[in-house]
A and B are shown apart, each in its own frame.
Chain A
Amino acid sequence: MLQKLSVFFLALCCPALSFAGLLVVVAESSPLAEMDRHEVRQLYMDNASRVDGHAVTVLDMPEGSQQRERFYQGATGKSASQLKSYWARMIFTGQGMPPRQVKNARDMVQQVKQNPGAVGYVQEADLQEGLRVLLRLP
């Protein structure tokens, strides 16, 4: 009976879990401290290769992925086409390149875990051991 009740309550909680936002994550061993939304925006838009003196590799989900759109909407307020315009200006005037794109969510987790200099973003559901959260996006 107790088992059935716990399963019942877990089932009630699940819908809440599925609306969770995105998490900006680094490897456990990363030297980076918590960031605010403004710093994350600078990291992803201003082509930063160093944060607090540490070299960073910024990782992005592939173009066209829903997660990527949600991330940029939450962190920068920009739509996919605005981003495309922005990066086109930067690329064709030689002012910078967009962050490296991974293949999928699993690839993102893998690369962040294995590289102490990497910064990426994952869904709440993909959070694993070996990752540390820097910022929670709504």
Chain B
Amino acid sequence: MTTTTRMLVPAVLLLAPVVQAQSPASLEDMERRLEQLEMQQYEKQNNWSDRISVNGFMTYGITRHDVHVRANNGDPIDYIDRTSDEISHRELSRAGIQFNATISDETSATVQVLARGRDDYDAQVQWAYLSHDLSPSVTVRAGRMVLPFFMHTQYNNVGYTYHWATLPGEAYDVVPFDTMEGVDLSWNLNTGPVSHRLNVYGGATDVPSFSLPAPVVYEVSELTGINLTSQWRDWTSWLSYSHAEVTLDLTDLAGPTGLPVAALEEPVSLDEAQTYISSVGLQYDNGAMVLMAERTQLGIEGWFPTKWGGYVSAGYRFGPWMPHVTWGAANAHGVSEAQSEGPVAANFSAANQVRSKSWTLGLRYELEVGVAVKLEAQRFYDMSNDKIMTNGLFTPQGSAPSIEEEEPTVFRLTVDAAF
């Protein structure tokens, strides 16, 4: 043996245990342990993020109209009680956040809060419910929920989900209450290639309203409704019908209006007035072309005129750009019947009547996935004829001069995000 070899032998003997430790059996052990550790880490993270999820949406918008005529009391004329001829950063701006906690495979709890610029960002809970899957296709929910009156009502605050800066006012600014406390049931079913969602609900709500000279409360009871959403390929259809009894005490208006309290009791104040709200809608979206149309109706027993509204909208996607055009219309009838309920009722009825048509031209730009910028202008026309004189969705003619000659236009610019 050479000297080198003699030195190598103890070295080999020393290294032998180390070499032994690198044997295939131990390598497997280490790999398995590594996999287990990784799995544990994934599980821990998945457990947490599986249980609670947080989602939100936000809109920043500015809007104004271009009618500089003043109302009879010197105030600016308002569009839907809120927008004037001066730029507002508050009317369209809003933020919402939703917390969803999984309690089990079938049960979850959801709370969704909305804060609007026009309410000075006072947070209101719009959804707060427990959801339980009775079966893979039937879900029951109980708590506070936004009412599904019309096609887009339940997500009307999530601007990112549609192409307009605001939903067509002729259809969506009609019903003065939007949430209820109650129960709803949803059934998902397929008939061949068509998938359906049938939703029924029942509940009640008390909604304060501040759009009249004094605050009033709409007491809505016996509220029930049914709606059906059907989807086939690129088409979606919508049918809905709701019924309620509305009680509205208007006697508090005596002070501000100067009317005697007696004149504001029934039949001017509503007591369990039978109310129905219905709509039929259609959507088409093949990735490039978007079409939407809807017809809505609101009827309240008594002096309140029966209102209907509708729109047809078409848009086309050119990459991130989507120009769109919409025609909208609103009308009311039953004002002459209100004459029989007395002068006060007749006046209120006339103040609530609406007649309006509009063309909206808009452009939506997808800044990135989850953020869209929108610009639109809506021009109103045909708000009066020889039978009725209205200012459409603007301050009524009882309180302001006719504005039709002014070619009233509302402008909106918004940034919508969903995250």
- A residues apposed to B, CB below 8 Å: 38, 42, 46, 48-50, 55, 63-64, 77-82, 84-85, 88-89, 91-95, 97, 100, 107, 110-111, 114
**Contact between B129 and A88 (Cβ–Cβ < 8 Å)?**
no
Query: A107 CA to B366 CA in the complex, in Å?
Result: 31
Contact of A84 among B46, B131, B154, B370 (CB under 8 A): B370
Query: A42 CA to B190 CA in the complex, in Å?
Result: 11
Query: A55 CA to B100 CA in the complex, in Å?
Result: 21
- Tell me, rounded to whole Å, the shortest Cβ–Cβ distance linking B187 to chain A: 12
Known contacts A79-B287, A85-B418, then 16 further A-B pairs from the complex at CB < 8 Å, ordered by chain A residue: A42-B195, A46-B188, A50-B136, A81-B370, A82-B287, A92-B96, A92-B155, A92-B161, A93-B146, A94-B112, A94-B129, A94-B145, A95-B197, A100-B46, A107-B42, A111-B42
Confirm or deny: B110 has a beta carbon within 8 angstroms of a beta carbon on chain A: yes
Closest chain B residue, CB of each to CB of A69 = B369
Lowest 5 CB-CB distances: which A-B pairs, in order? Answer: A88-B418, A93-B154, A80-B369, A50-B136, A89-B161
Query: A95 CA to B105 CA in the complex, in Å?
Result: 15
Closest chain A residue, CB of each to CB of B45 = A103
Query: A88 CA to B160 CA in the complex, in Å?
Result: 8
**Contact between A89 and B158 (Cβ–Cβ < 8 Å)?**
yes
Closest chain A residue, CB of each to CB of B152 = A89
Across the A-B interface, how many residue pairs have beta carbons closer than 8 Å?
Answer: 75
Q: Which of B50-58, B259-267, B328-336 faces chain A?
A: B50-58
Chain B residues within 8 Å of A77, by CB: 287
Chain A residues within 8 Å of B42, by CB: 107, 110-111
Confirm or deny: B59 has a beta carbon within 8 angstroms of a beta carbon on chain A: no
A91 touching B287 in the complex, CB below 8 Å, given contacts A63-B369, A114-B39: no
A64 touching B55 in the complex, CB below 8 Å, given contacts A84-B160, A85-B161, A94-B131: no
- Among B89-115, those with CB < 8 Å from A are 96, 98, 100, 105, 110, 112
- Among B274-317, those with CB < 8 Å from A are 285, 287
Chain A residues within 8 Å of B100, by CB: 91, 97
**Contact between B98 and A81 (Cβ–Cβ < 8 Å)?**
no
